[in-house]
């Protein structure tokens, strides 16, 4: 489980360390930095999973992503991202290249994995300084690895042999189990409105495509009762199902009181379709290790938020959940069961409301 997220010098975030629990809600007024915290988590996920820093370059490079506040003379330009799981801690320190053919690409100054809350020489498992990597050998001595890395890549990019650095491999595999739900399309041309082959689909794709197949999977091998209860709570008297033709293609249909025929996905409103997408994703029979929901309330009527809150609470019994939202009704619907993290902005910097500078979870950045 992800226990802590640490960010320094990313956009509006000067320095924060966020303690995380099973169900977490990140909220705050517009402009307080919710999106920046979400983007930092996604950036960290991309670095660990793929090893590349290209997603940061797509944001306009390191200079565009750095905190815009005043910096003391002589202070190094740095963007730091870190996390702590139940088994290890990880941190990466990014800087600006001195001479490079790709000046928008940041370079990695240092990168470490250690085994406890506090970083000490005895707890360091993998250490990268510049392009050189040190790992623990069979006698638990920290020795130079036989492989090196490029300055514009994480050391996870060139990790090929799990036995060389099993801690790195475990970290990468863990990140591959994270899922971000922020691109469920509901526009007129959305893939969710189209039929799909009726095949076993235990995970709804990120764009909402293959919705009929994912819904059929929930109803046949997942928690069909919970799905139908959620639909009935959101749209009283309605029922959502899947119809298949002779060729094996499936389409979503919704029966509603007072209508002579069921509606298919092309006829549903954006809000109705989004609620069906969220219910399908949150009741997936194959839940990820971490599920991150970014503004799930978008296009939903306030009357649907209690149902959404119930689905999120149920999902948190199966996996760790982070919800980023500015919807107070959704926050209140989750408050009794969630770790509420309310952000605010003071003097241009994002901070956690009610948490003083030296309060919160303990985290110390590795030195360059």
Report DSSP letters for 105-153, one per residue. Answer: S-EEEEEEEESSSS--TTTEEEEEETTEEEEE-TTS-EEE-S----TTB
User: Both 184 and 169 in a single domain?
Assistant: no
Domain count for the chain: 2
Residue 120 domain boundaries = 2-21+33-177+343-352
CATH of the domain at 314: 3.40.50.300
**pLDDT tens digits along 318-337:** 999 999 999 999 999 999 99
Q: What is the share, in percent, of the chain residues with pLDDT greater than 90?
A: 76
Asked if the structure places residue 155 within a domain, the reply is yes
Does residue 160 have a pLDDT over 80? no
Residue 103 confidence (pLDDT)? 63
Asked if the structure places residue 360 within a domain, the reply is no
User: Both 187 and 224 in a single domain?
Assistant: yes
Give the whole-angstrom CA distance, residue 186 versus residue 367.
Answer: 46
User: Both 113 and 43 in a single domain?
Assistant: yes
User: Both 156 and 201 in a single domain?
Assistant: no
**pLDDT tens digits along 199-215:** 999 999 999 999 999 99
- Cβ contacts of residue 231 below 8 Å, gap of 6+? 238, 239, 240, 275, 276, 279
The closest of 154, 146, 147, 190 to 171, measured between CA atoms, is 154
Does residue 64 have a pLDDT over 70? yes
Asked if the structure places residue 55 within a domain, the reply is yes
**pLDDT tens digits along 286-316:** 999 999 999 999 999 999 999 999 999 999 9
Taken as a whole, the chain contains a residue count of 368
Does residue 29 have a pLDDT over 90? yes
User: Both 252 and 303 in a single domain?
Assistant: yes
Asked if the structure places residue 359 within a domain, the reply is no
Residue 158 confidence (pLDDT)? 84
Residue 104 confidence (pLDDT)? 64
User: Both 160 and 295 in a single domain?
Assistant: no
Asked if the structure places residue 26 within a domain, the reply is no
User: Both 55 and 163 in a single domain?
Assistant: yes
**pLDDT tens digits along 242-262:** 999 999 999 999 999 999 999
Asked if the structure places residue 10 within a domain, the reply is yes
Burial class of residue 55 (count of CB atoms within 10 Å of its CB; 0-12, 13-18, 19+):
middle
User: Both 172 and 185 in a single domain?
Assistant: no
Does residue 100 have a pLDDT over 70? no
- Alpha carbon 355 to its chain centroid, in Å, reads 23
Q: Are strands 196-197 and 107-114 parallel, antiparallel or unpaired?
A: unpaired
355, two tokens:
């948490």
User: Both 331 and 276 in a single domain?
Assistant: yes
Residue 101 confidence (pLDDT)? 65
User: Both 273 and 173 in a single domain?
Assistant: no
Q: Are strands 339-346 and 349-352 parallel, antiparallel or unpaired?
A: antiparallel
Does residue 178 have a pLDDT over 90? yes
User: Both 211 and 168 in a single domain?
Assistant: no
- How high does pLDDT run on average in the chain? 92
Asked if the structure places residue 91 within a domain, the reply is yes
User: Both 323 and 205 in a single domain?
Assistant: yes
Asked if the structure places residue 368 within a domain, the reply is no
Q: What is the mean pLDDT of the segment spanning 139-158?
A: 89
């Amino acid at each position: 489980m992800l226990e802590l997220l640490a960010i320094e010098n990313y956009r509006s975030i000067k320095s924060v360390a966020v303690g995380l629990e099973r169900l977490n809600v990140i909220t705050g007024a517009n402009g307080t930095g919710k999106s920046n915290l979400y983007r930092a988590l996604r950036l960290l996920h991309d670095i660990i999973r793929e090893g590349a820093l290209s997603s940061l370059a797509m944001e306009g490079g390191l200079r565009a992503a750095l905190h815009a506040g005043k910096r003391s003379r002589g202070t190094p330009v740095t963007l730091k991202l870190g996390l702590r799981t139940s088994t290890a801690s990880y941190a990466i320190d990014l800087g600006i290249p001195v001479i490079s053919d790709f000046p928008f690409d940041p370079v990695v100054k240092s990168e470490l994995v250690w085994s406890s809350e506090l970083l000490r020489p005895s707890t360091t498992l993998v250490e990268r300084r510049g392009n050189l990597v040190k790992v623990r050998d069979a006698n638990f001595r920290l020795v130079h690895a036989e492989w090196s890395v490029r300055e514009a890549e994480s050391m996870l990019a060139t990790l090929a042999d799990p036995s060389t650095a099993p801690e790195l491999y475990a970290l990468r595999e863990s990140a591959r189990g994270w899922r971000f739900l922020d691109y469920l399309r509901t526009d007129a041309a959305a893939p969710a409105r189209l039929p799909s082959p009726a095949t076993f689909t235990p995970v709804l794709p990120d764009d909402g495509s293959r919705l009929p197949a994912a819904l059929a999977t929930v109803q046949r091998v997942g928690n069909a009762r919970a799905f139908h209860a959620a639909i009935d709570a959101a749209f009283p008297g309605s029922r959502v199902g899947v119809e298949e033709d002779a060729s094996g293609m499936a389409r979503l249909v919704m029966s509603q009181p007072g209508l002579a025929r069921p509606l298919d996905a092309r006829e549903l409103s954006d809000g109705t379709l989004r609620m069906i997408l969220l219910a399908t994703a949150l009741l997936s029979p194959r839940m990820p290790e971490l599920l991150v929901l970014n503004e799930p309330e978008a296009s939903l009527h306030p009357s649907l938020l209690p149902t959404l809150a119930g689905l999120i609470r149920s999902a948190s019994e199966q996996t760790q959940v982070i919800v980023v939202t500015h919807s107070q009704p959704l926050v209140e619907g989750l408050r009794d069961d969630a770790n509420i993290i309310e952000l605010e902005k003071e003097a241009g910097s994002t901070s956690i409301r009610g948490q003083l500078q030296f309060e919160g979870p303990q985290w110390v950045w590795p030195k360059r």
